[in-house]
Amino acid sequence: MDLFKKYITMFRQDMRQVMSTRCGLDELNNLLMLIGFLNIVAAMMTHKWILTLLGAAFVVLCYVRVFSKDLVRRKKENELYMRYLGGVVRTVQLYELRLKMKLRTMKDKQYAYFVCGSCGQVIRIPKGKGKVSIRCPKCSQTFVHKT
Ligand SMILES: [Zn+2]
């Protein structure tokens, strides 16, 4: 068991080392993965082979970018994507984070977790204080939440 754990840690360290020189999962790769996944789901429902092919193509493209060593080019692609669709990406990320923090609040008995609407900072507040006005420590935005 210990040997297994050791092996997993070693593998993780190796992966981290490898991935530090690769592109990894940037925003554009997340989108490619999502499109690929949606196409494959659609293919399973409609039994259309062209959707399977399209889905596989997007997943392959994503993996090519994830393991790419040409970081300069990959960064440029991602910047171009973020320039046009950055607003949408950030909105989705904010919703994702809010959902995560809601789940975390449900699990945590002591604290409630909120996400600042203007900068995305996570704020932890003790539970059971009723309605409180929260001031974001990062951007000073204030908002009212029930704890
Ligand atoms: Zn903030």
Rounded to 10 degrees, what is the CA torsion of 84, 33, 61, 17?
A: 100
Alpha-carbon distance of 46 to 61, in angstroms, equals: 23
pLDDT band (50, 70, 90) for residue 121 = very high
The pLDDT of residue 16: 87
* Position 1 pLDDT exceeds 80: no
62 burial level (CB within 10 Å; 0-12, 13-18, 19+): buried
Identify whether 140 is part of a domain. yes
In a domain, 102, yes or no: no
In contact, 112 and 125? CB cutoff 8 Å: yes
Place of tokens 């080392």: 17
How confident is the model over 114-132, as a mean pLDDT? 91
Nearest to 57 by CA among 71, 37, 76: 37
85 and 117: one domain? no
- Residue 26 Cα to ligand 1 middle (Å): 23
Question: Ligand 1 centroid to 117 CA: how many Å?
Answer: 7
The residue type of 37 is: F
CA of 57 to the centre of ligand 1 (A): 39
Pair (74, 115) in one structural domain: no
> How many A from CA of 60 to the centre of ligand 1?
37
Q: Which one-letter amino acid corresponds to residue 118?
A: S
Q: What is the average pLDDT score of the chain? A: 93
Distance from residue 123's CA to the centre of ligand 1 (Å): 9
Taking the centre of ligand 1 as the mean of its atom positions, its distance from the CA of residue 94, in whole angstroms, is 12
Q: How far apart are CA 144 and CA 36, in angstroms?
A: 39
Give me ligand 1 centre to Cα 119, in Å: 4
Quote the percentage of the chain above a pLDDT of 90: 74
The Å distance, Cα 125 to ligand 1 centre, comes to 14
**72 and 43 share a domain?**
yes
- Distances in whole angstroms, Cα of residue 54 to Cα of each of 43, 51, 111, 141: 9, 5, 45, 44
Q: How many domains does the chain have?
A: 2
Encode pLDDT of 35-82 as tens digits.
999 999 999 999 999 999 999 999 999 999 999 999 999 999 999 999
Query: Which residue range(s) make up the domain with 65?
Result: 22-91
Residues 87 and 34 in one domain: yes
How far is ligand 1, taken at its centre, from the CA of residue 122, in Å?
Answer: 8
Task: Give yes or no for a contact between 124 and 108, defined as CB atoms under 8 angstroms apart.
Answer: no
pTM of this structure: 0.71
